[in-house]
Amino acid sequence: MRTLDTTNISGSVSEFILLGFPCHRDIQVLLFVIFSLIYLLTLMGNTSIICAVWSSQKLHTPMYILLANFSFLEICYVSSDVPKMLANIISQTKSTSYAGCLFQFYFFFSMRAAEGLFLSVMSFDRFLAICSPLHYPTIMTHHLCAWLVVFCWAGGFLWLLTPLTLISQVPFCGPNTIDHFLCDLAPLLALSCASVSGITLICGIISSLIIFLTFLYVLGTYICVLSVVLEVPPGSGRHKAFSTCASHLAVVCLFYGSVMVMYASPGSGDYPGLQKFVTLFYALETPFFNPLIYNF
């Protein structure tokens, strides 16, 4: 496999080799079939939610508009890494260009940041609906909903501009083999031929901020929601309130559970196999289970 002959005339790496899942060819074919099936089901499930919201006039409410945007985000998110991963599984070269690697990192983690923002906004919507039902129609207007959607999309992509700019300035002189199926931050910076401790720290702080700020906000809103729901007498709307929040809480637990195992566990980056497995889990599980949970 090529690892050192992919340099341009200035001596910089012009492409990277994504090892993916090095194993027997039969196992790779099996992985290709499984991941392809999960990818197709993910696209179909999230597309069905978008179509249902689009086609039904009674679903043109902030709650379902946010859900439709979240489903579209999941489609974009899973499409930022899975097609390339599938191509590399059956490919002999497993290469990706330098620019392609940077853009995959940027889009994958930008949409991950946007997902955290969407979960926060959706929890705000549930908070208003349950804790201030009389004021909900006047506060959560379609105008505000549209601005919140723009905020989530723009916020996710703007948040990752600084890490992208910093990584684009890191010199890569070889080797160029990444023991991963995507261009993740840690294995990418490990290939640098210069000290990147400062860049790693800054990128880590930026990533941690978006994770923990959105998590603490979601946690705070649901503490308020649960305190209100528990005061409701049994049989007089408590079950409806719980069922309204249950789907969103399930997606929240999947998202933050997997992300925090990956990025908040001490020493998680010291085990490439574990890192790869957990990344695969959170790259596929939330987009796949999202339509199943919301349709349950």
pLDDT in the model for residue 10: 38
- Confirm if 275 and 186 have CB atoms less than 8 A apart: yes
Q: Does domain 15-295 have CATH number 1.20.1070.10?
A: yes
Phi, psi torsion values for 74, nearest 5 degrees: -65, -35
In angstroms, the CA 80 to CA 107 distance is: 7
Measured between alpha carbons, how far apart are the two ends of the chain, in Å?
Answer: 46
- Confirm if 80 and 105 have CB atoms less than 8 A apart: no
- In whole angstroms, what separates CA 136 from the centre of its chain? 29
Taking the whole predicted model, whether its pTM rises above 0.85 is answered as yes
H-state helical runs in 56-131:
62-79, 82-90, 98-131
The amino acid at 238: R
The ranges assigned to domains in the chain are 15-295
pLDDT in the model for residue 12: 73
Q: How far is CA 45 from CA 116, 245, 248, 259, in A?
A: 20, 20, 16, 22
pLDDT in the model for residue 202: 92
In angstroms, the CA 142 to CA 64 distance is: 11
In angstroms, the CA 181 to CA 158 distance is: 25
Which helix (H) or strand (E) is 258 found in, with range?
helix 238-263
CA proximity to 69, closest of 183, 196, 156: 156
pLDDT in the model for residue 131: 87
pLDDT in the model for residue 123: 93
Q: Which stretches of the chain score pLDDT less than 50?
A: 1-11, 266-267
